[in-house]
Structure 1
Amino acid sequence: MPLTSSFETQTAAVLAGPGDLQLTSRICPTPAAGEVLVKISTVGICGSDTAYFHGTAAYAINAPFVMGHEASGTIAALGDGVSGLALDTAVALIPSLSCGTCEQCSGGFDNLCPHTRYLGSAAVNPHRDGALQEYLPVPASHVLALPNGFTLAEGALLEPMAVALHAARKTNVAGTSVLVVGGGAIGQLTALAAKTLGAATVTVSDVSERRARTAVEHGADTALTTTELKDQLSKGTRFDVVFDASGHPAGVETALMAARPGTGRVVLVGNLPAGAGLPVKYISRAESWVTSTLRFAGGLAPALDFLNEHKLDISWLVEQTVPFHKIVEVFEAPAADDSPLKVHIQLS
């Protein structure tokens, strides 16, 4: 018999549709065979979460579901057959549940598995509930034990770190001039990863001067506002490798314009709004090499190993921590160009 939680009910943040987020009481789940029950501690708010709330996501909400995929917690119960994990172990949740047997999974591209069920995602039907609830059962294979000294808040940052590292490793950045368009959380981490991987120079551009400067405080070489970058491009400045982490059509256009003609490489990291087009004229004019990334492959261990190997601290990324009972206020807050880089919701 599995060890189960002593609580009968729990609180979950349920999104019924755009703008309709409510804290709801639910039956507390128990882990099935091969699963662990995680007592959720910290959940990071991602741009995809806010897109669901504001109705701009690429996927429609067909039924109420729970968002949240950047998460950490402690093991509260073990399902039958689970070994190698102990109660109260601090873990980060690996949000991508792929099939493990298809051509993509077998080839090391589990992030491209057509059967993926991502935590807190409406991309599949039925939607897969995420971590914005007090307790969540997940396969035991989809938690990563955190080392001693690694906080639960840092554990909730491993998912965006994995996204950024996957992007930075998409092409060789060593010895190159790198531009990161968009100084949000993913842009900051992409800049950090690129510099750590040996980029000669890293420039970060954002509509917010503060965000761009923050990147320089943590390893980037140059900060430019969007206006300053456009001025530089008008004078002929170009970059070897360009990452778009803005998730905005204007940012993508700028990224494509900024690539060095003939040899420039562009990696599209940000998620564009539904229906956004790609200005291919800039690609054809420069014969740029353009690719994109989808989340990350290989789980969260590469991100954790990268941080440990290079002794990197990314806790500075969290600029606001909000208690769970105030989560609706976070999503209802007016959008701002200078909003916190990363907001964490504290559940326990």
Structure 2
Amino acid sequence: MPLAPFVRTHTAAVLAGPGDLQLHRRPRPAPGAGEVLVKIHTVGICGSDAAYYRGSAAYAVTAPFVMGHEASGIVAELGDGVTTVTPGAPVALVPSLSCGSCGQCLAGFDNLCPHTRYLGSAAVEPHRDGALQEYLVLPATHVLPLPDGTDLPTGALLEPLAVALHAVRKTPVAGRNVLIVGGGAIGQLTAVAARGLGSASIAVMDVSARRAHLAVEHGADAAFTAGELEAAVAAGSRYDVVFDASGHPAGVELALRAVTPGVGHVVLVGNLPAGSGIPHKYISQAESWVTSTLRFAGGLAPALEFLKDTGLDISWLVEQNVPFTDILDVFGPEAGAHPPLKVHIQFTEQPTP
């Protein structure tokens, strides 16, 4: 049964090209068999969304499309045969649509599926529209019901938490000294995940002293600016496990230099700009173990379970809430000296029919 059958059109934020974001009215979509229609409530803005807008993303925008993959909403309508959710149910959107039948999927690495179509991604042709629109149709298998006590803004944080949790589970962190290079949202959540999985100590470095110290306010043990970490490494400080969440070549180099020689592990989480090289001499000089991550495997349920098990609150990550009607302001001029850690786009409860 439809929750809001009177709504015939809705608004979508369409990226026509670099620097050209437009609000378009479109016919409201309808779910087919096995699908659900979701009324979007909250969408988090990711660094990849900003890169698409600036034209600096690894994948070129070749046709207008809708960004946004960190999202939550309310089930508005069910397609035929859907029995796993009910209209009105709060859900998080699972953005990664993999084939389910290739070798990677069958081995549990659905994030490495060569046929993956990610919400709000220009990595595939045609591009897959994302959640920066009032309504979105998804397979019923790709919405995660939120339990009582988990609000919709937290539901929109499950995707970046899943990225961080997947990274921290790439190598044992329990009882080990951990360094995180980059104190953006993913870096902060990597610190949260490492803390929840029993790290002995956690240090966070960011070019912004405010962000580095914010991590300490929420459970990390030490904060560094880039210059302070450079000095500490020069003086001999080393870490058992280092995560690079900066996505910057200088951050990767510092991460490789900061790991304990012989036994240290480095996990590259941030997305480096196209064409960036990795300074392999620091790997060979330390005989360090280096790996990387791509998004996350297994959907969003592990992230939701992690929050349930640890009781941790991650709502503090959201430093700015913006109405969807003002979204053009978010992608306007570059942020000042202290940009918000995470921006959430909030949709109105009653869209225009």
Q: TM-score, normalised by structure 2?
A: 0.97
The residue number in structure 2 matching 1:124 is: 124
User: Could you say what secondary structure the match of 1:332 adopts?
Assistant: coil
Aligned equivalent of 1:100: 100
- Does the CA contact (< 8 Å) of 2:3 and 2:88 recur in 1? no
- On the 8 A contact 2:165/2:303 being kept in 1, the answer is yes
What is the distance in 1 between the residues matched to 2:328 and 2:228? 36
Q: Is the 8 A contact 1:2 1:79 kept in 2?
A: no
Quote the residue 2:263 is aligned against.
263
Residues 73 and 92 of structure 1 are in contact (CA less than 8 Å); yes or no, is this contact kept in structure 2? Answer: yes
Corresponding residue for 2:305? 305
Letter in 2 for 1:118: Y
Query: How far apart in 1 are the matches of 2:182 and 2:5?
Result: 42
SS of 2:331 mapped into structure 1: helix
Structure 1 residues 177-256: aligned runs within 5 Å? 177-256=177-256
Q: Taking structure 1 as reference, are residues 347 and 279 closer, same or farther at Cα in structure 2, changes over 3 Å only? A: same
Quote the Cα distance in structure 1 between the aligned partners of 2:113 and 2:260.
Answer: 33
Q: Give % identity.
A: 70
Note the aligned Cα RMSD (angstroms). Answer: 1.2
Conserved? CA contact 1:96–1:111, under 8 Å: yes
- Equivalent residue of 2:189, what SS? helix
Shift of 1:85: 1.0
Q: Quote the Cα distance in structure 2 between the aligned partners of 1:95 and 1:39.
A: 15
Partner Cα distance (1:78, 1:114) in 2: 29
- Structure 1 residue runs of 5 or longer lacking an equivalent are none
| 1:91/1:145 contact within 8 Å kept | yes
Instruction: Say how many residue pairs are matched.
Output: 348
Structure 2 residue matching 1:237: 3-state secondary structure: coil
**1:178 is paired with a residue of what secondary structure?**
strand
Change (3 A) 1:236 1:336: farther
Partner of 2:351: none
Alpha-carbon separation, structure 1, partners of 2:53 and 2:3: 35
2:10 paired with 1:14: no
CA contact (8 A) 2:163 2:296 kept: yes
Q: What CA distance in whole angstroms lies between the structure 2 residues aligned with 1:146 and 1:5?
A: 24
Match of 1:161 in 2: 161
The whole-number CA distance in structure 2 between the counterparts of 1:6 and 1:30 is: 12
- Rounded to whole Å, the distance in 2 between the matches of 1:199 and 1:217 is 17
SS in structure 2 at match of 1:322: strand
Change (3 A) 1:4 1:116: farther
Distance 1:177 1:184, change over 3 A: same
**Partner deviation per Cα, 1:13-46 (whole Å, 9 max, x = no partner):** 0001110111111111001110000000000000
How far 1:332 moved relative to its partner?
1.3
Structure 2, unaligned runs of 5 or more: 349-353
| Alpha-carbon distance in 2 for matches of 1:32, 1:58 | 32
1:84 CA displacement: 2.4
Q: CA deviation at 1:165?
A: 0.4
| Structure 2 Cα separation of the partners of residues 329 and 131 of structure 1 | 18
Please give the secondary structure, in 1, of the residue aligned with 2:122. Answer: coil
Q: Distance in 2 between matches of 1:311 and 1:155?
A: 15
The residue type equivalent to 1:254 in the other structure is L
Distance 2:80 2:17 in 1: 36
Tell me what 1:291 maps to.
291
Separation in 1, partners of 2:22, 2:9: 16
Query: Which moves more between the two structures, 69-78 or 249-258?
Result: 249-258
Give how far 1:5 is off.
3.5
**25-34 or 3-12, which moves further after superposition?**
3-12
Match of 1:109 in 2: 109
Q: Secondary structure at the match of 1:328?
A: helix
Once the 2 structures are TM-superposed, how far is the Cα of residue 267 of structure 1 from its aligned partner?
Answer: 0.2
Tell which deviates more after alignment, 335-344 or 61-70: 335-344
- The answer (yes or no) to whether the contact 2:2–2:87 under 8 Å persists in 1 is no
Q: 1:336 to 1:291 in 2, by over 3 A?
A: farther
**Structure 2 residue 54 is the aligned partner of structure 1 residue 68:** no
Post-superposition offset of 1:250 = 0.9
Could you tell me how far 1:274 is from its partner in structure 2? 1.6
Q: State the alpha-carbon separation in 2 of the partners of residues 46 and 336 from structure 1.
A: 17
CA distance in 1, matches of 2:30, 2:256: 49
CA distance in 2, matches of 1:82, 1:339: 42
Offset, 1:308: 0.4
Residues of 2 paired with 1:321 and 1:204: CA distance?
A: 25
Task: Give 1:51's aligned residue.
Answer: 51
Partner amino acid, structure 2, of 1:54: R
Structure-1-length-normalised TM-score: 0.98
Distance of aligned partners of 1:4 and 1:162 in 2 relative to their CA distance in 1, 3 Å threshold: same
Q: Aligned-pair distance for 1:292?
A: 0.3
Mapped contact 1:45–1:68 kept (Cα < 8 A) = yes
Runs of 4+ residues over 2 Å off in structure 1: 1-6, 335-338
Contact 1:4 1:30 in 2 (8 A): no
1:281 partner SS:
helix
CA gap 1:75/1:277 in 2 versus in 1, 3 angstroms: same
